[in-house]
Chain A
Amino acid sequence: MPTGMRRGWQATGLVMLVICLVTLWQATKLSLFDRLGPAAGFFPFYLALIGAAMSALILFQVTRTADLGPSRETIFPRGATAWRAFAILASAAVATALLEWLGFRLAVTMFSAVLLVALGERRWWAVALFAVIAGFGLFHLFNNWLDVLLPVGEFGI
């Protein structure tokens, strides 16, 4: 198993093991049985038990597997591709954080413009046109035509 993949599997196994152990602890606090039968903790308890066993098995198997060293192809992207993936997640996170304060129209217009530029669009008019259609056009489509309510911000937009 290549080193990157091996570390990834170990990390996933470890995180899942922790999640399952916490669930086990929480499930016992909820009680497994009451006078009516199985209680709120019953099903999650057994699920977490299976999950913990599988996580431990993955950790054990992966740790035992021979480390083949770094593979020629990296698992996660680097350079410009990594930047694009980061830009997508970061800009979406910022837009989400501002969604209720700025409102859908402004937040999405700004998000579209920033992300388009980050992804390599250099024609300012194309950026502006797309961003306005995305922010204001989609708001109109969903809010007025499809009756899907979208947030209006502090500025009434």
Chain B
Amino acid sequence: MNLALSPEQELLREAARGSLARHRTIEAAHGALDGGSLPDLWPTARDAGWPGLLIAEDQGGAGLGAFDAMLVAQECGRVLAGVPLIGLLPATAILDAAGAEGLEAVAAGERPVAWLPARPPSDGEGWTVEPPRGKSRARAPRATRDGDGVVLTGAAAFVPDAPHADLLVVVGAAEDGAPVAAAVEASADGVTVEPVTSYDPTRALAHVTLDGARGTALDAEAETLERAWHLMQALIAAESVGAVEATLEMAVAYARERFTFGRAIGSYQAVKHGLTEVLRRLENARSLLYYAGWAWESGPAEFALAASAARSAAGSALDHAARQNIATHGGIGATWEHDAPLFFRRAQLTRRLAGGTAGATDRVATEVLAAAPAA
């Protein structure tokens, strides 16, 4: 039994924290809300080797696992750093599994890649993508094989990290519903990437439209594509855990220094219990990151359950933590200049991305019902 971080993992985390600290990401997030621009964190990501985290070593990557990637995502979440990991890493996992050409350039950070997240079927429905609005999910783009290529037509809304990507990894559906993966140049004919003004300015999103766009077919099994979806869930969970840590530290610090009726507000049970509730949810979510990391390596049949549970716990922890942080600070916590609203914005938007927190919770139910013995 060993669920502790290895020395290499400690190092990876410390290095990520150190290199992100050199950018004033929180300050920049405030600026971005007022129309300013965000620091370009891509060189930081590239120098640290993050684009190649999940790419095999013989292809120029680091050949690491989901848990290592989650450690980096957690650090990004702590400081709301807009490093495009959640769109990038699932794309690289697919490219790596498919043995795609040109992986070295991707691993070296010369070719930013983003994935059009497609949700695997759960109850008979096919592969789906995010709709522009509403409860009904959109069908994955229609895919037609054409020699070595794939022609894709369809649209996906709110695609993370698409605005800065050179290459898009797309999961389309063939006529029989089977998933077909393809790599499509963002500059190809028929591809439109329309950046969205995001409620959370640190999160780059775009609506992507494919109108007869031609890409290269990727030799990826359905399992690989399912794994990519759940990897994205796990990365969102990790980012959220980082953000919860940051809000809890902020709220605890304030509760110790702010006095009312002659004593620190953190001494009141109402405040203290509210903050221990954040800690309880944080530790539960953190435990599930370990579960997801373990399952990626050693229990692939459980990865869907583990990653969905992690997203569910971390998503609701962040929701709760962001509100608790504002409430602990009182009215000042809800003002434009304060940091607390930045985390609230992160929570609000993330909860609705990539199938949503509620979608992950539903997926947990699907998995445990499927695993339970029949009557």
Do A and B form a real pair? no
Residues on A close to B: CB < 8 A?
none
